[in-house]
Structure 1
Amino acid sequence: MQFIQMFDNKILEFIRINLHTPMMDKIVPIVTSLGNMGLIWIVIGLAFIANKKYRKYGFIMLCTLCIGALIGDGIIKPIVARARPFNFVENIQLLIKAPTSYSFPSGHTMSSFAAATIIYIANKKMGIGAFLLAALIGFSRMYLYVHYPSDVLIGCVLGITLSIVIYKIVSPKYDKKFN
């Protein structure tokens, strides 16, 4: 665990020292806000539900987002109880309001990659764009010093894994009931 913490700290310091610019300091909070409460993904899921061709995928995406929030925020975060990186750096000025929940795993990243995976299953071209946005949201969490790289990496893995598992369980049942 100490090795992971050292690795996390080095990456965060690299980002803070080498990648921060005044322009990025304005753009990155906007990018991260797209993932707040999974809102962009919920809107996309609802848009999918409104379109008959993508209805099944929208339903599965919304199920995945709800289950992911329960698992990530309701179970894993309280068990691991990892403090956020900004808590350990003196005089750091956050560009967003300090989150009050625990750090591990990144909920923004988990929901973003979960939704992007379902979008990719539904439509590869849209999915590539969704994965790009998910990656930007994940990076934004490190840039803003509210998550460690390992929080983001595990959020990514959990999101992808959860969406595939839920898709494999729900899709055949959905098809049987509605097709």
Structure 2
Amino acid sequence: MELQILDMIQQMRTVWLDHIMVAITTLGNGGIIWIIAGLLLLISKKHRKTGILLLAAFILEIILCNGVLKPLAARVRPCDINSTVQLLVSRPTDYSFPSGHTGASFAAASVLWSRKEKGRLAAMILAVLIAFSRMYLYVHYPTDILGGMIVGSLSAVIVCMGFKLFEQKYGKNNEITV
């Protein structure tokens, strides 16, 4: 059934949408857009805590996704099952479940959302677009995307709750310095 969903998405393909989806997915390569966002937040004293939380959630998501779940699930990618679909990006060499692009995106966007940062809606929209692009490009199944959303969001919750407990134990006035 998941391949049927991906095949339905393939019916949407157009030349201009191909270019857009490749560009969107490229923003998620290596989590570069989220790393940049985290580093930019570190610059401002007002947003430094958010930057630290974003980067911490990003790191936790990488550990959970790439270090634990991908090797454990060892799921073959849809482009390996149906090789008739022309890939618009380089074929990923790691396993499919969960989607690392999606996980990283939802980890970062969820931190921004929980901290009520101004760009949170734009970040969440970008996270959703990156997630969709992975299916559009035929490199992830829908359940890979769902798994990435869960792992990323859970990473943000763990980091934000951990920070809140830290603040409760040591006081809110303790400044985090970088």
Output the TM-score relative to the length of structure 1.
0.91
Amino acid across the alignment from 2:80: N
Aligned to 1:168: 161
Aligned to 1:103: 96
Determine what percentage of the aligned residue pairs are the same residue.
40
- Aligned partners of 1:38 and 1:108 also within 8 Å: yes
Q: Is residue 2:136 matched to residue 1:150?
A: no
For residues 93-145 of structure 1, the C-alpha deviation after alignment (integer angstroms, 9 at most, x for no partner) is 10000000000000000000110011112235411110000000000000000
- Aligned partners of 1:60 and 1:171 also within 8 Å: no
Quote the Cα distance in structure 2 between the aligned partners of 1:178 and 1:124.
Answer: 19
Quote the Cα distance in structure 2 between the aligned partners of 1:74 and 1:144.
Answer: 24
Segments of 5+ residues of structure 1 without an aligned counterpart are 1-5
Quote the Cα distance in structure 1 between the aligned partners of 2:147 and 2:156.
Answer: 14
Segments of 5+ residues of structure 2 without an aligned counterpart are none
Question: 1:74-89 maps to which residues of 2 (within 5 A)?
Answer: 74-89=67-82
Task: Name the one with the larger helix percent.
Answer: 1
Amino acid across the alignment from 1:90: S
Aligned to 2:22: 29
Which segment drifts farther, 129-138 or 169-178? 169-178
Amino acid across the alignment from 1:178: E
Cα RMSD, aligned residues only: 1.4
Output the TM-score relative to the length of structure 2.
0.92
**1:125/1:177 CA distance change after superposition, 3 Å:** closer
